[in-house]
Structure formats: structure tokens, C-alpha cells
Structure 1
């Protein structure tokens, strides 16, 4: 799922690079500058066959608790909002808080369901297969060692 962007500055030519990435930045930690073609190690990226998966990517309880908290806050904000309208007050900040808590609660619940139903595990299997394929190349492994990556 490519929804995010990673930005970095090349250590050689100082050019700003931008690239699409997955939520957890799984992939090769060896980055190549688009301007000068120099390669360098970016520790933000995870080679999952070596580093493993981010623990949050498999923890549905974390997101379910967040969803429950945010949705309960949205209900509380909604009740306060209703009572404020009854008394003739206008609370735009409370309205915004209610909308944002609802939105983030639903998104967090969606992520928890995605993990619980196994869709995230399928993505993780795909990332692991890609990582193992990269590590099957001796030149790639040597580059990682050259950059100080512990294999």
C-alpha cells in the first residue's frame, strides 16, 4: 500500500529526493540519489528479513484501544456539543474535536480490522518475500556490509 512519501537530502550533492513508500518504510535501506546517482544507507528503511517487522504492524489491540478511546471521546464531545446548542452557545472548537476524534477513531478501527482479518499479514508476507529476494543477491549483501549493515 503506497500512500506515504519519504523525503531525504543526498549527503553527496545535497539534492532533496522524494519517493513513495509503504506505511512502515519496508524495503532496501540503500537509497540512490536521483540527481548524482550516489548510493548511501538510510536507516529509516527496514530490510525485514534482517530487522523484522515493526511491532505495531501486527498489533491489532493497539489500534483497537486507540479506536475505542477516540470514539468514546467523540461521543463525549457530541454530548457536550448537543448540550451547548440547547443553551444557545456555538462551540466550533468542540465541533472540530468531535469530527477529528470520530475520523481518527474510524481510521484506527479500520487498521485494527485490517490486521485482525489478515490483510496486513498478506502484505507482510509480500514484503518478506521481496526482502529475501534482495538478500539472495550476493552483490546487494556485500553493499549492505560495506555500508556497515549487520547481516
Structure 2
């Protein structure tokens, strides 16, 4: 798959998340379970305006925040805490296909940043498209947006 990398200015987005640490091979289990924990807390508190699932990768050890985008602030509920995506310039692309192939989108962004002199700054994240029944029949329709905060070249 060929990726179209974009440079955008991203406004921070409020989140409700749980914090986890996982190994690469555990992500396919940890992320959905964590999203379920967050949704249960949001439903229990009657929070409206919740959006897509998100995973924020805080470091190379795969310490992460997993949860849901929100339209506004969230006070927290037990292990579900408020957070936000970083604001500022990002390199971003959309991955179409199974989650197990997301590494290709990450690699494309990293290569693009290196080739264009952009410095990586801070955690990266993935925003998962809303689930659709067609994805069961055709996983190539699954969409995931990948973001890396950067300092643009020459800044």
C-alpha cells in the first residue's frame, strides 16, 4: 500500500483513557479490552459526545493510553482518566486494512519525516474508524488514522 503523508496542525482532542503497558503481541487484546473499560465508564456516567477509539503510544516500551475521543472535558471515573492528544504539527496518514498491518503506516511516516528533515516530538497515536459490518467481509475497508507530532524542518 502506498501512503499519502500529510503535514497538519492538530488541535489537542479531549480523551477518556485507561493507562496500560503491553508487549507488541498483546496489543490486539489489550486495546479492545481497554476500550471496553472506557466505554463502560462513560455509559455509567451518562457521558455524551464520545467518538472513535484511540491508542496513544507514550514511549518505546509500549506504555499507552487507550480510550475514546470526547467532545469536551471529562472528570474521570476510577481507572478511567481524562487525557488529551498533543497539539501542534503532526505528520499523519490513513491506513486502510487490517490492524496487524498498521506498522507499514508507521514506517511510512517515519521514513517521510526523516527524508524531509522533520523531528519527531512526543507520543504518537492511532485513531480507529467506527466499526462497520462490511469490515467483517472485507478487512481492506478498515480505516485507522496514524499521527506523529513533529517539529517541521527549518523550525
Q: TM-score, normalised by structure 2?
A: 0.24
More helix by percentage: 1
Larger Rg: 1
